[in-house]
């Protein structure tokens, strides 16, 4: 916040930046109100697309740090992951992100539940080989 306040002009003190970041902002509504004016005059095709991305990180104190699959490395890597939904204007070849959320890693309890589900056997279901 100090860095942001240093780049502002008159009226952009450190305290003003603190007040701005202390407010709860409903980002999906704000994004939609900015973007909707661009689409209502457009006669072309509008698509919605979603994509997940993983950012590799080291350390132990980053919020949401876990192991996520990375297609670049072809295996799970330590890092943080995000899911983004965007509106795409096909004719203008433009994209507007509407929603971005962080994907949190599974807890130890969730991991143990998935391991128990994987321990399936023919004998447990009453089938014969």
pLDDT tens-place string over residues 70-95: 888 899 999 999 999 998 888 888 88
Q: Which two tokens stand for residue 82?
A: 């995000």
pLDDT of residue 105: 87
What pLDDT is attached to residue 42?
A: 67
pLDDT at 82: 93
**CA-CA distance, 38 to 73, in Å (whole number)?**
37
Domain boundaries, the chain: 42-105
Q: Tell me, what's the pLDDT at 116?
A: 61
Could you say which residues of the chain have pLDDT below 50? Answer: none
DSSP three-state, residue 59: coil
Residue 119: what pLDDT?
A: 54
Q: What is the pLDDT of residue 94?
A: 85
């Amino acid at each position: 916040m100090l860095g942001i306040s240093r780049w502002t002009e008159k009226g952009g003190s450190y305290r003003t930046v603190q007040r701005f970041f202390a407010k709860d902002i409903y980002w999906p509504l704000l994004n939609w109100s900015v973007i909707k004016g661009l689409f209502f005059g457009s006669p072309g095709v509008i698509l919605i697309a979603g994509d997940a991305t993983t950012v590799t990180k080291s350390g132990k104190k980053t919020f949401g740090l876990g192991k996520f699959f990375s297609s670049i490395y072809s295996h799970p890597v330590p890092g943080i992951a995000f899911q983004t939904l965007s509106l795409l204007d096909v004719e203008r070849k433009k994209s507007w992100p509407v929603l971005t959320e962080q994907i949190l890693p599974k807890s130890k309890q969730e991991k143990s539940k998935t391991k128990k589900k994987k321990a399936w056997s023919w004998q447990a279901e009453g089938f014969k080989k």
